[in-house]
A and B are shown apart, each in its own frame.
Chain A
Amino acid sequence: MTQIFRLKGGMIDRSKKLNFTFNGKTLEGYHGDTLASALLANGQKLVARSFKYHRPRGIFTAGSEEPNALMQIGEGAFVEPNTRATVAELYNGLTATSQNHRGSLEHDLMAITDLFSPLLSAGFYYKTFMWPKAFWEKLYEPIIRASAGLGKLSAQEDPDIYDKGYLHCDLLIIGAGPTGLAAALAAGRAKARVILADEDFRLGGRLNAETMSVENSAGSHWAAEALAELASMENVRLMPRTTVYGAYDHGTYGALEQVEQHLGTALSKPRQILWRINSKRTLLCAGATERPIAFGNNDRPGIMLAGAVRAYANRWGVATGKAVSIFTNNDDGWRTANDLAAQKIHIKTIIDSRQSSNMQAPDNCEVIYNGRIIDTSGRHALKSITLADGRKIETDCLAVSGGWSPNVHLTCHQRGRPQWRDDIAAFVPGNELPVGMSVAGAANGEMTLHKALADGHASANAIVKELGFNPVRKSAPSAEDEAASVSAFWHVKEGTKRAWLDLQNDVTVKDIKLSYQEGYRSVEHMKRYTTLGMATDQGKTANIPALAVMAECTGKTIPETGTTIFRPPYTPVAIGAFGGRARGQEYRPVRYTPSHKWAKEQGAAFVETGLWMRAQWFPINGETHWRDSVDREVLQTRKSVGICDVSTLGKIDIQGRDAAQFINKVYCNGFAKLPIGKTRYGLMLREDGIVMDDGTTARLGENHYLMTTTTGNAASVYRHLQFCAQCLWPQMDVHLVSQTEQFAQFAIAGPNSRKLLLKIVDAEYDISNEQFPFMACGQITICGGIPARLFRISFSGELAYEIAVPTRYGNSLVRALMNAGEEYDVVPYGLEALNVMRIEKGHATGSELNGQTTASDLGMGRMMSTKKDYIGNILARRPALNRDDGFTLMGFLPVDHKASLRSGSHFIARGKSEIMDNDEGWMTSVAFSPTLDHSIGLGFIKSGDKRIGEIVIAADPLHGKSTPVEIVSPHFIDPKGELLRG
Chain B
Amino acid sequence: MADYHLEAETPFGGYSKTFSNVSLRAITDKAVVSIAVSNDNSKAIGKALKTKMPSMGTFVSIQFSDGKLLAIEPQQMLVLFDNDSDDSIEAIAKQLPKTVCLNDLSDSFVMFEISGPNARKALERICAIDLHPNHFAPGALARTKMEHMATTIICEKTDTYLLMSARSSGPSFAHAIETSIHNTNT
Contact = CB atoms under 8 A, between A and B. Distances in A.
A808 interface: yes
A65 interface: no
A166 B105 contact: no
Interface stretch (B42-50, B56-64, B161-169): B161-169
Interface string B100-130: 0101111111000000000000001111111
B172 A809 contact: no
Contacts of B66: none
B108 A807 contact: yes
Contacts of B127: 166
Contacts of B6: 782-783, 786, 805, 809, 812-813, 816
Given A612-B168, A784-B1, A809-B8, 12 more contacts: A161-B183, A166-B127, A581-B176, A588-B148, A593-B168, A656-B36, A739-B105, A762-B2, A784-B4, A807-B107, A808-B10, A808-B107
26 contacts: A161-B183, A164-B125, A165-B124, A165-B125, A589-B173, A590-B172, A591-B168, A653-B103, A655-B36, A735-B76, A737-B76, A737-B105, A739-B108, A741-B105, A741-B107, A742-B103, A761-B2, A782-B4, A784-B1, A787-B86, A806-B106, A806-B107, A808-B8, A809-B7, A809-B8, A820-B4
B2 A743 contact: no
A742 B107 contact: yes
Contacts of B176: 581
Contacts of B5: 783-784, 812, 816
B2 A760 contact: yes
A163 B183 contact: yes
A805 B6 CA distance: 10
A164 B36 CA distance: 37
Nearest to A590: B172
A786 B7 contact: no
A741 B166 contact: yes
A262 interface: no
B124 A808 contact: no
Contacts of B106: 742, 806, 808
A738 B170 CA distance: 17
Nearest to B135: A168
A681 interface: no
Contacts of A270: 183
Nearest to B34: A737
A819 interface: yes
Interface in A602-634: 611-612
Interface in B1-54: 1-10, 34, 36, 38
B171 interface: yes
A278 interface: yes
A735 B105 contact: no
Interface in A803-836: 805-813, 816, 819-820
Interface in A646-678: 653, 655-656
B107 A269 contact: no
Contacts of B4: 759-760, 782-784, 816, 819-820
Given A581-B179, A816-B6, A656 B101 contact: yes
Contacts of B125: 163-166, 273
A763 interface: yes
Contact of A586 (B34, B107, B128, B175): B175
Contact of A735 (B75, B132, B169, B170): B75
A611 B169 contact: yes
B149 interface: yes
A739 B168 contact: no
A480 interface: no
A733 interface: yes
A762 B171 CA distance: 34
Nearest to A810: B9
B148 A589 contact: yes
A845 B47 CA distance: 48
Contact of B1 (A581, A737, A738, A762): A762
Contacts of B168: 591-593, 612, 741
Interface in B141-183: 147-149, 166-173, 175-176, 179, 182-183
A920 B48 CA distance: 65
A163 B124 CA distance: 11
Contacts of A193: 132, 134
B118 to A, nearest CB: 14
Nearest 9 A-B pairs (CB), nearest first? A735-B36, A168-B130, A589-B172, A741-B108, A807-B107, A591-B168, A655-B101, A816-B4, A808-B8
Nearest to B105: A742
Nearest to B99: A657
A807 B167 contact: yes
B7 A812 contact: yes
A680 interface: no
A396 B170 CA distance: 65
Interface of B: 1-10, 34, 36, 38, 75-76, 86, 101, 103-109, 124-130, 132, 134-135, 147-149, 166-173, 175-176, 179, 182-183
Contacts of A144: none
A166 B124 CA distance: 5
B101 A735 contact: yes
A739 B168 CA distance: 12
B3 A591 contact: no
A484 interface: no
A811 B148 contact: no
Contacts of A161: 183
A589 B36 contact: no
Contacts of A276: 128
A642 B147 CA distance: 37
A899 interface: no
Contacts of B2: 759-763, 782-784
Interface string A153-181: 00000000101111110000000000000
Nearest to A589: B172
Contact of B130 (A278, A589, A787): A278
A793 to B, nearest CB: 22
Contacts of B169: 589-592, 611
Interface string A559-603: 000000000000000000000010000101111110000000000
A787 B88 CA distance: 12
Contacts of A816: 4-6
Interface string A717-751: 00000000000000001010111011100000000
Contacts of B107: 741-743, 806-808
Most B CB atoms within 10 A — which of A611, A733, A741, A782?
A: A741
Given A591-B166, A655-B101, A742-B107, A733 B9 contact: no
A784 B168 CA distance: 26
Contacts of A808: 8-10, 106-107
Contacts of B175: 586
Contacts of A591: 166, 168-169, 172
A916 to B, nearest CB: 39
Contacts of B3: 759
Contact of B9 (A166, A588, A761, A811): A811
Contact of B149 (A168, A589, A733, A760): A589
Contacts of A786: 6, 86
Nearest to A596: B168
Given A167-B124, A589-B172, A806 B104 contact: yes
Contacts of A586: 172, 175
Interface string A118-149: 00000000000000000000000000000000
A592 B183 contact: no
A343 to B, nearest CB: 39
A165 B167 CA distance: 24
Contacts of A611: 169
Interface string A506-529: 000000000000000000000000
Contacts of A165: 124-126
B44 to A, nearest CB: 15
A763 B2 CA distance: 7
Contacts of B134: 193
